[in-house]
Amino acid sequence: MVVTSRDSIAEGRLGHSARRWALALAPTTRVLLFAAALTTVGVVLLALTPAPTAMPERAWELPFFGLVLAFGVAEATALHVEIRKESHSLSLSGIPLMFGVLYLSPAQLALAYVLGAAPTLLWIRRSAVTKVVWNCSLFFAEGALVALIVRTILGDALPLSMEEWFVPLGAVLAAELLSLLAVPLVIMAVDARFRPGLFGTVGQSQIVAVLAGGFTVTAVSASIADPRMVFFAVFPILGIGAVLRGTGNLSQR
């Protein structure tokens, strides 16, 4: 005999109602609603960022369209990773993110990410328009999140010590975490089915992206101010080897 509480019955009905409501919407509509939510999150994050349109004073300037080109190249050279028979896409967008947040205004960073990635996704990777819209909304939110963290903690100053360089590094890791959460959620929204295993699957490719991009850029950029930062260069070499050795293949998409 199975005894079911009223609360569990109510939760089951609520989950069934949510699934039925989701199925009533076309998959494209679900993706676009998700994209609108991510864009709204990005706008709110930029609004909360100190001086979101102010350019930092630097010894040399990073051209806005140079950063746009860098984001485009990062997406165009995305790698296709096979890990335990699972396919993953690996982009080194953490590199232009790291430089953009330090040399441009927060608003320019988020905009450059979108302007650089969109043409690449449309014309080089030939992604569907709906997928491009969703990806660009995620990129916009990621750029805004990175800018909010760095500007709130460091202001517009360049990090000079090893400890301060953990701030932009942590910001890029936070953007990867946002992607780790958003990608499985949009897949589940399309399928209208809860699949928690997707978080682990997507997380493997995000780990590779972080190791290949964030740590390497931090090491190269910060080593001028603090030579100890060169030790971070060891992480991507060991990390990528550990993830791919004997379990996967790596090829350019």
pLDDT digits (tens, 9 = 90+) for 19-28: 554 555 677 8
Q: In whole angstroms, what is the distance from residue 37 CA to residue 177 CA?
A: 17
Whole-model pTM: value is 0.76
Neighbours of 29 (CB within 10 A): 13
Q: Give the pLDDT confidence score for residue 197 in this predicted structure.
A: 64
The whole-number pLDDT of residue 239 equals 56
- Is residue 252's pLDDT more than 60? no
Spatial distance between the Cα atoms of 203 and 207, rounded to a whole number of angstroms: 6
Whole-angstrom distance, CA of residue 116 vs CA of residue 37: 21
Which range scores top for mean pLDDT: 2-6, 91-95, 234-238? 91-95
Q: How far apart are CA 10 and CA 7, in angstroms?
A: 5
State both tokens at 80. Answer: 């296709």
Contacts of 227 (CB under 8 A, 6+ apart): none
Confidence of residue 88 (pLDDT cuts 50, 70, 90): low
Q: Summarize pLDDT for 56-84 with one digit per residue, the tens.
A: 888 778 899 999 998 998 888 776 555 44
Above pLDDT 90, what percent of the chain? 28
- Type of residue numbered 213: G
Q: Quick one: pLDDT at residue 241?
A: 54
Residue with the larger pLDDT of the pair 70 and 235: 70
Q: What is the pLDDT of residues 111-126, one digit of tens each?
A: 999 999 999 999 888 8
In this prediction, residue 229 carries a pLDDT of 59
Rg (CA), the chain: 20
What's the chain's average pLDDT? 75
Residue 240 pLDDT grade (very low, low, confident, very high; cuts 50, 70, 90): low
